[in-house]
């Protein structure tokens, strides 16, 4: 699909309990609705005080989640003296009012609390903030802020919802116990609050990774996963997304699909048939000889960051216990065919070194429907935990992934 060519933004501005009306509409870079750095800059310039986006209020675009007409709720961090407060109309009050399942950082109070926590933790490690935080992203899955610190090296604050995301600090520590250079440095973490403070990782995100980058980072992830597979006690308590758990979750989801998706009766029947045949597929996958282990959970190249000499893997919110072929398959959607074949060879050869006698290439083939199933279940998990205004980001994703399951045919 061609990306939307514009993003027209309107901002509802508050300061505490006061409402100051709307800013805009104004144009920003098309971008994903969750990308708010330019929105923040324009709003801050308009009112003359620091402003942060609390959340998406409404979005309309033919390219869902990208471009189009977007409305945000933003909070001024200081009272805007040049503006007069006013009563909210009933419709606006309803849109800006409390909502069930709202993310903690998607409220003015939550924003302030997260940033205050980050400032305190940075000061505790001798890295006091040197300038205001720069808000990069906010949506139902995470908030992301870049914080300049004393000494010139930035830090990053990430906020997530613990109810459906991994304890990233724990996962980073596990991978780091095998390969310290594979993971970013954690400066502070508050697991129950969903807050993580990270050191800046220099370089660029590897959306188009070189063959050398693949040959570096993929075997290192495999080596770490192979080592952690031998430490089951350390993996206890991780979110379980092993193949047999995925099968059970599909069975539980099937009863909801008729009402909650646009899947046809024929597609629902085919999915029931797929579920019935899953035990045999899981047996064949187990026969490939790869261990269940800690997964990154979203191992696409945009989550690899390299400065040309060091490649670091970031973003562990989707991490879980599962079959390593799911991580092995993740880059496929982001690579051309030649690059994918290179990645698959590197991944296969790495697992053969750590699991002699296994059949990693066969595992990739067999795991493809499970890969799509895992994402259908993950997207449904998002929808079950987010407020209504955020649903457009993911509406239709579970059905799309389940159709991809059916498109895989009978892996055998």
Query: pLDDT tens digits, the chain, 412 residues: what are they?
Result: 455 568 999 999 999 999 999 999 999 988 899 999 999 999 999 999 999 999 999 999 888 889 999 999 999 999 999 999 999 999 999 999 999 999 999 999 999 999 999 999 999 999 999 999 999 999 999 999 999 998 889 999 999 999 999 999 999 999 999 999 999 999 999 999 999 999 999 999 999 999 999 999 999 999 999 999 999 999 999 999 999 999 999 999 999 999 999 999 999 999 999 999 999 999 999 999 999 999 999 999 999 999 988 899 999 999 999 999 999 999 999 999 999 999 999 999 999 999 999 999 999 999 999 999 999 999 999 999 999 888 888 989 999 999 999 999 744 4
Q: What is the pLDDT of residue 31?
A: 86
Q: What is the pLDDT of residue 64?
A: 82
User: Which of 199, 223, 257 lies at the terminal end of a domain, its last residue?
Assistant: 199
302 with 378, same domain: the answer is yes
118 with 53, same domain: the answer is no
Structure tokens at 332: 């496929």
34 with 137, same domain: the answer is no
57 with 125, same domain: the answer is no
Inside any domain, residue 276: yes
Contact 296, 318 (CB under 8 A): yes
Cα–Cα distance for residue pair 179/181, rounded to 1 Å: 5
324 with 218, same domain: the answer is yes
- The enclosing domain of 116 has a CATH number of 3.30.200.20
Location of structure tokens 């901002």? 11
What DSSP line would sit under 134-197, residue for residue? Answer: EEEEESSS-EEEEE-BTTS--EEEEE--TTTS--HHHHHHHHHTT-GGGSPPEEEEEGGGTEEE
Closest CA to 239 of 177, 311, 307, 160: 160
Location of structure tokens 């980073």? 172
User: Which of 178, 199, 220 lies at the terminal end of a domain, its last residue?
Assistant: 199
Closest CA to 351 of 215, 212, 219, 178: 219
Inside any domain, residue 2: no
317 with 401, same domain: the answer is yes
Cα–Cα distance for residue pair 102/375, rounded to 1 Å: 22
Centre a 10 Å sphere on the Cβ of residue 286 and count the other Cβ atoms it contains: 15
Closest CA to 86 of 14, 13, 20: 20
Inside any domain, residue 214: yes
Chain centroid to Cα 211, Å, comes to 25
Cα angle value 165/230/195 (rounded, 5°): 20
Question: Domain total for the chain?
Answer: 3
Inside any domain, residue 145: yes
Inside any domain, residue 74: yes
Contact 370, 318 (CB under 8 A): no
Inside any domain, residue 293: yes
User: Which of 97, 114, 133 lies at the terminal end of a domain, its last residue?
Assistant: 97
- The enclosing domain of 324 has a CATH number of 3.90.1200.10
Q: What is the pLDDT of residue 30?
A: 83
Closest CA to 324 of 357, 281, 370: 370
57 with 116, same domain: the answer is no
Rg (CA), the chain: 22
Q: What is the pLDDT of residue 3?
A: 59
257 with 381, same domain: the answer is yes
Cα–Cα distance for residue pair 266/341, rounded to 1 Å: 34
Structural domain of 39 = 7-97
92 with 110, same domain: the answer is no
347 with 291, same domain: the answer is yes
Cα–Cα distance for residue pair 67/61, rounded to 1 Å: 6
310 with 351, same domain: the answer is yes
Inside any domain, residue 412: no
237 with 171, same domain: the answer is no
Inside any domain, residue 342: yes
What DSSP line would sit under 244-292, residue for residue? Answer: HHHHHHHHHHHHHHHHHS---HHHHHHHHHHHHHHHHHHHHHHTT-PPP
């Amino acid at each position: 699909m061609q990306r939307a060519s514009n993003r027209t933004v309107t901002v509802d501005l508050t300061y505490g309990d006061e409402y100051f009306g709307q800013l805009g509409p104004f144009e920003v870079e098309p971008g994903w609705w969750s990308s708010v750095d330019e929105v923040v800059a324009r709003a801050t310039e308009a009112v003359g005080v620091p402003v942060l986006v609390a959340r998406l209020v409404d979005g309309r675009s033919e390219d869902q989640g990208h471009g189009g007409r977007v409305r945000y709720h933003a909070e001024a961090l200081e009272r805007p003296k040049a503006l007069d407060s006013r009563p909210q109309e009933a419709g606006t009050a309803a849109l800006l009012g409390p909502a069930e399942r709202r993310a903690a950082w998607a409220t003015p109070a939550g924003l302030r609390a997260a940033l205050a926590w980050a400032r305190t933790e940075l000061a505790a490690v001798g890295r006091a903030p040197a300038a205001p935080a720069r808000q990069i992203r906010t949506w139902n899955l995470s908030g992301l802020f870049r914080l300049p610190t004393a000494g010139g090296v930035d830090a990053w604050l990430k906020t997530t919802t613990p109810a459906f995301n991994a304890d990233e600090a724990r996962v980073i520590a596990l991978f780091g116990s095998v390969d310290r250079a594979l993971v970013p440095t954690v400066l502070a973490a508050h697991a129950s609050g969903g807050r993580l403070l990270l050191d800046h990782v220099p370089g660029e995100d590897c959306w188009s990774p070189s063959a050398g980058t693949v040959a570096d980072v993929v075997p290192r992830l495999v080596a770490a996963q192979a080592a952690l597979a031998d430490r089951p006690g350390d993996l206890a308590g991780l979110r379980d997304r092993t193949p047999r758990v995925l099968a059970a979750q599909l069975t539980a989801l099937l009863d909801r699909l008729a009402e909650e998706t646009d899947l046809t009766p024929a597609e629902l029947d085919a999915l029931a048939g797929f579920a019935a045949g899953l035990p045999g597929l899981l047996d064949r996958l187990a026969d490939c000889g790869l261990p269940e282990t800690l997964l990154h959970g979203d191992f696409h190249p945009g989550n690899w960051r390299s400065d040309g000499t060091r490649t670091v893997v970031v973003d562990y919110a989707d991490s879980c216990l599962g079959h390593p072929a799911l991580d092995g398959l993740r880059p496929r959607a982001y690579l051309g065919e030649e690059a994918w074949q290179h990645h698959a060879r590197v991944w296969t050869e790495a697992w053969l070194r750590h699991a002699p006698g296994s059949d990693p290439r066969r595992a990739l083939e067999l795991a493809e429907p499970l890969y799509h199933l895992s994402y259908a279940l993950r997207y449904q998990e998002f929808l079950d935990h987010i407020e209504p205004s955020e649903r457009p980001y993911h509406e239709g994703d579970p059905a799309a992934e389940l159709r991809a399951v059916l498109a895989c045919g009978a892996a055998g």
